[in-house]
Amino acid sequence: MVFRRYTPDWPLSEFVRLFWWCEQHRPTHQKERLLPDGSVELVINLRKDISRTYDREHPERCNTLPGAIVAGPHSNYFVIDTEEQEGCMGIHFRPGGAFLFLGVPADELHNQLVGLDALWGRAATELRERMLAAPTPEARFAELERILLSRVGRSLSRHAAVAFSLRKFLNQPHVHTVGDVTREIALSPRRFIEVFRRQVGMTPKLFCRVQRFQRAVQAIGAGKSVDWATVALDCGYYDQAHFIHDFRAFSGITPAVYLSLHNDHLNHVPLESVT
């Protein structure tokens, strides 16, 4: 697999974690589950103008979308086709970073996979055509940067309370709870939840649960041998049983199964090997 990434310049870097390009030959498995991380991804299939997704409970059931799609902020895993990674690229938005560019509140895309044309119309087709016309991954990244900036007709900014809470939740996860943050902002709890959900895509409580799950994924992925009790404690779970239950709720598999299957791309788990 050949994989390149690019971090855009400020101010886009405040809302976009990275642009990426991937080329893979002979995928080792047909399908894989993509684990939730609370962010939004825009993905462009450069080989074919089609994207295939599969029912989580019945992976033999396929749904087809255009070649440019948006994976909304997920709190569930979803199943993708690895053949489409033979040539694809995309935008990995920071949490709370996509709503400015997509034109809809983020919560309307919660746990959804939609064609970019449903959000951008003809501009979605033009985006893919411009990516295909660009000669190199670097040229495509530069074009993506120009396209995103052209989509925003106002200053790039989140609601102040959302920006503040995301810094707390992401940078100091063990210190700050939703209640702690709510007491520090000039919004009622109800209003804060409403604003956060519309810009990030889920409630603050669910977002924090997803981030705790992601910390566990990173901890497991760091080594071949894992002390499960330590992982549970370090990631903020009450006990090992709570950790296993939450991990399975988000991924569909147990931590032990994940340990046996994961690769360098920690959120991509081969589906066929799961029993």
For residue 40, give every residue at least 6 positions away whose Cβ sits within 8 Å of its Cβ, in sequence order, or none: 70, 71, 72, 73, 93, 97, 98, 102, 106, 109, 201
Instruction: Say what the pLDDT of residue 274 is.
Output: 43
pTM for this prediction: 0.91
pLDDT of 152: 83
CA-closest candidate to residue 68, choices 138, 143, 130: 130
CATH of 160-270, one of 1.10.10.60, 3.40.250.10, 1.10.287.3510, 2.60.40.10: 1.10.10.60
Domain residue spans of the chain: 2-151, 160-270
pLDDT at 213: 95
Per-residue pLDDT of the chain (275 residues; tens, 9 = 90+): 788 999 999 889 999 999 999 887 666 678 899 999 999 999 999 999 999 988 888 888 888 999 999 999 999 999 988 876 678 999 999 999 999 999 999 999 999 999 999 999 999 999 999 999 999 999 999 999 999 999 886 678 889 999 999 998 988 666 567 788 888 888 898 999 999 999 999 999 999 999 999 999 999 988 767 899 999 998 889 899 999 999 999 999 999 999 988 877 889 898 854 44
Residue 25 is predicted with a pLDDT of 63
* Domain 2-151 in CATH 2.60.120: yes
Residues contacting 261, CB < 8 A, separation 6+: 253, 269, 270, 273, 274
